[in-house]
Structure 1
């Protein structure tokens, strides 16, 4: 009813998955890159998780469009199936014929024969399962058995699991540890940032035929606040705000309209109480951390004798006195004690909220009751930034980080990297702090970490060839600081600046497109920031 009033030729904020409105933020592109990388590997499983409405299905559909022509794809949207029903659905998707009332073995044989034939004909087979958090453990195990069919170089069936965060919890179950070990790429899709919300809204309006701004800056901020950056909620709120704007014959849409839309669509907003942790509890935690740091600085966090921290377990005083059993027993007792302490600390670190509480404490912030960790950080002027990487990635950024870890049984636990000295990191597990060596960290680190930081004000969303001279000079100066070289005076986006930018992007796992998009600018600003705690005072490894 309002299309003519706003100069639109279509409804821009329908929640139907219209491919014409496809918008890929830097995070969506990164998720797509991880899925593509996983399919290019020899492993059998790729994992994509994210909250409801963050765009997981959008990414999967985009992936389908990018698959080579020699790929046969099965897409399962309703995974609440038994093992028999799942195999039958897979056969239906791949057009594999089977008789009436087939057995599990008959369906498995049919699928295996199809996969072998496909491989001999130079074709790939991919199974995509949406809402995979609803899969039963026994069904996932059946999928793992299907992926056992392989050649010397690759799996004949590749599986993409897409689901909500509960899927990560499901895969941590003991009976699924073999499947978890076969996941070659995983990515957790975060909501849109404030800048990305503005770009998202403008993109959909332009596709629908309106190129003039329609939402005031205050409306965008309110939209990001009420939607938490979730595209589906953004669509619902924008749709209701357009109706209100049309009814009042008022443009642009302001924050009051968005607030009203939020009350109508999402219900009355609960009062956000900034309730701090009780002072006494906070003080006791600080005392506990201090005592734990003193205690565990005398013990090793290493699970093997060869990896013992040489600062924590004293060697036998006189190695020539091999018959001094008392000294040997003392050292063994200390080692066993440190191992038990480590096991206990890991067992108490299964809840990621404890790790986030620790990193907030390092910034002199505290969690707010009723808000997530990132929401609490945002309320206090900080931003969350999740990244895939390794030891060097954390060292380069030099910020404290929440790290996603796995134990020897491939069960997840979470810690906070508090400090670094050389080849050691001070790792906080729940309320205990332990120095761990690099080889131990690398064995247990899953590759995902998250930091808090204070983003600069008024940061542009992109610096490319059409940027103004001030932006180009800022980019040149920033890259020079990172590479510890002398900046040049630039007046255009020349080939040297583009090469330096691409080198920076490649070094940090970003798309080397020679355009400083949102992810690249965040990475640069992290290096340039002088606000907040650091892991150490030593020079970063660029």
Structure 2
């Protein structure tokens, strides 16, 4: 509809999973590498999870376009199937003939015959199932049985499961433990950051033949905030904004059009049905607030100051609740000029009943927001009064998982078990603040004197941003170090199929990934292979990396070594300090 109006060759923000429009954020690049690696290995299951609309299907379609000619693929979009229906659908996708009304055994035998024939012809078969969190346990068990067919070197069928985070919980069930053990690579795809959302919008505009700067930076930041960086929601909002601009005949995007698009695209329809009551509710609340303000604030005004200035005197004192409250995000709307304040004599009058139509908005003084309180300790006291640590360590994991783009409910799983399901690992160590800064990852700190746990989120200069029971706080670094008990725990991203540190003489997926990443860091022609060995030359490269990053030089690729490797490109890594991001 609006293509000619804006000069696009095709719709830039269609929600169809078109690989041509795939924006490869660092997280998407790493996810694609995991998929390709999983397919280059010995077979089994590859798992890709992520929130709705983060680009799992599009990424997988992009991977299919990069597969070599000798790979046959079957893509199942509707997973709500019985076992016989699943087997028949696999046959349909691979082009396998079967008689009408074929039994489950006949269908299974036809698939096995096809896989054996493919292996003899040096062809590989890949089965991809979308929305896999909807698969039944019986269907998943049948999929596992299909992977039993193998040669001495590899399995004949490789399966990729795409799904929402519920897929992780499903595979963690006791009756599916055999399938879980056959997962050779897994990755959890998170939403885009603010900068990535901005680049994503520009990329799609440019791919469609339009101006990459059609949406301003301010508009893109607003869209990111309202969509939480989820690509599908970004598409919906941007498409609605373009339609809105076309409808009123303009060729430039405005902030007003974007706000309207957000309201229309993301509004809860239940709120729309209730809208006729909304003005009356607001009016009633306005009356109550106005009466409360006039009757409560009036006795506190000093007549001399009120009469001379026409405004109440300012009060810079702040309550504890004010000090603990995080800064509100900036409001992007330009404030309208305020009418002059009412004379003091009018404020003293008892307000008479008035109709809703005659009420004026309550005016608030244009006072700059107070500076957040910076917590610090007094001489001889390292208790950091005003800091409210979590009583339980698991509660401090909630913001730690959040900064990694993952929801965590302490009632559902142990934190370090949850971490493994999304490709992360816990690292618990005693140490100094210098050690934590060197690792450059958000961490949980245990405060002394049984003061609980806080989550260290970010460090800028001599100030640390932490999260405690009351929310986000700022603390002087030296004060935090004095109040800290000296133990920390953080999350780090593990490589594919990682189970333990790798060292001289090892082989397998983790060694393959280590070699690949070191080649990238050293500027070599990097190619992910499945036959790497941890030899003396690789050990020397690991030692050089450890020495360059101030890590214990032992030639063993453990947690701290992998943390240094992950920092190279910052692939979806939340850094503690901006210096290395």
Is the TM value for this pair above 0.5?
yes
The equivalent residue for 2:141 is 141
Q: Secondary structure at the match of 2:161?
A: strand
Q: 1:155 to 1:527 in 2, by over 3 A?
A: farther
Q: TM-score, normalised by structure 2?
A: 0.53
Instruction: Find the counterpart in structure 1 of residue 51 from structure 2.
Output: 51
Instruction: Output the CA distance in 2 between the equivalents of 1:524 and 1:360.
Output: 14
Structure 2: segments with no counterpart, 5+ residues: 272-321, 327-385, 410-420, 430-435, 445-454, 458-479, 481-485, 492-498, 502-508, 510-522, 524-544, 551-560
C-alpha separation in 2, matches of 1:253 and 1:84 = 52
Are the aligned partners of 1:417 and 1:428 in contact in 2 as well (CA < 8 Å)?
Answer: no
Q: Determine helix, strand or coil for the equivalent of 1:68.
A: coil
- Whether the 8 Å contact between 1:48 and 1:56 is mirrored in structure 2 is yes
The 8 Å contact of residues 214 and 251 in structure 1, kept in 2 or not, is answered as: no
Q: How does 1:472-491 map to 2 (within 5 A)?
A: 483=548
Structure-2 change in CA distance of 1:80 and 1:150 (3 Å): same
Any residues of structure 2 matched to 1:96-107 within 5 Å, and which? 96-107=96-107
1:214 aligns with 2:255: no
The 5 A counterparts of 1:360-399 are 397-399=439-441
The equivalent of 2:181 in structure 1 is 181
Asked if the contact 2:440/2:577 (under 8 Å) is kept, the reply is: no
Change (3 A) 1:372 1:167: closer
Match of 1:118 in 2: 118
SS for the counterpart of 1:261 is helix
In structure 2, relative to structure 1, the CA distance for the partners of 1:105 and 1:14 (3 Å cut) is: same
Structure 2 SS opposite 1:168: helix
Aligned pairs for 1:199-348 within 5 A: 199-211=199-211, 213-250=213-250, 252-267=252-267, 286=389, 288-289=391-392
Q: 1:162 aligns to what?
A: 162
TM-aligned CA deviation for residue 127 of structure 1 = 0.5
Aligned to 1:508, what secondary structure does the other structure show?
helix
Please state how far the C-alpha of 1:392 moved relative to its aligned partner: 8.2
Q: Is the 8 A contact 1:505 1:520 kept in 2?
A: no
In the other structure, the counterpart of 1:171 is 171
Cα distance change on mapping 1:221 and 1:95 into 2, 3 Å: same
Does residue 357 in structure 1 map to residue 398 in structure 2? Answer: yes
Cα contact 2:27–2:190 (8 A) shared by 1: yes
CA deviations over 1:141-178 (Å, ceiling 9, x no partner): 01111111112221111100001111111111110011
Counterparts of 1:523 and 1:23, CA distance in 2: 22
Deviations 1:439-468 (A, max 9, x none): xx959xxx9xxxxxxxxxxxxxxxx9xxxx
Aligned counterpart, 1:35: 35
RMSD of equivalent CA atoms: 4.6
Distance 1:95 1:387 in 2: 35
In 2: Cα distance, 1:121 partner to 1:428 partner: 48
- Cα contact 2:442–2:576 (8 A) shared by 1: no
For residue 253 of structure 1, give the secondary structure of its aligned residue in structure 2: coil
1:253 deviation in Å? Answer: 2.2
The Cα shift of 1:42 comes to 1.4
- 1:137 is displaced (CA, Å) by 0.3
Q: Deviations over 1:477-525 (max 9, x none)?
A: xxx999469xxxxxxxxxxxxxxxxxx9996258xxxxx9774997696
Q: Give yes or no for contact 1:417–1:426 (8 Å, CA) kept in 2.
A: no
Bigger Rg, which one: 2
TM value normalised by structure 1: 0.56
> Counterparts of 1:42 and 1:64 in 2: how far apart (Å)?
18
| Residue in 2 that maps onto 1:191 | 191
For 1:186 and 1:24, the matched residues in 2 are separated by: 18
2:79 is the alignment partner of 1:82: no
Per-residue deviation, 1:45: 0.1
CA positional deviation for 1:252: 4.0
Matched length: 357
Q: 2:55 & 2:107 partners in 1: Cα distance? A: 33
Alpha-carbon distance in structure 1 between the residues aligned to 2:212 and 2:174: 55
Which deviations, in whole Å up to 9, do the C-alpha atoms of 1:199-234 show, x marking residues without a partner?
111112112222352112211011101111111111
Distance 2:548 2:576 in 1: 11
Query: What residue is the counterpart of 1:508 in the other structure?
Result: 565
Worse overlay, 12-21 or 389-398: 389-398
CA deviation digits over 1:170-197, x for unaligned, max 9?
Answer: 1111100110111111111111111111
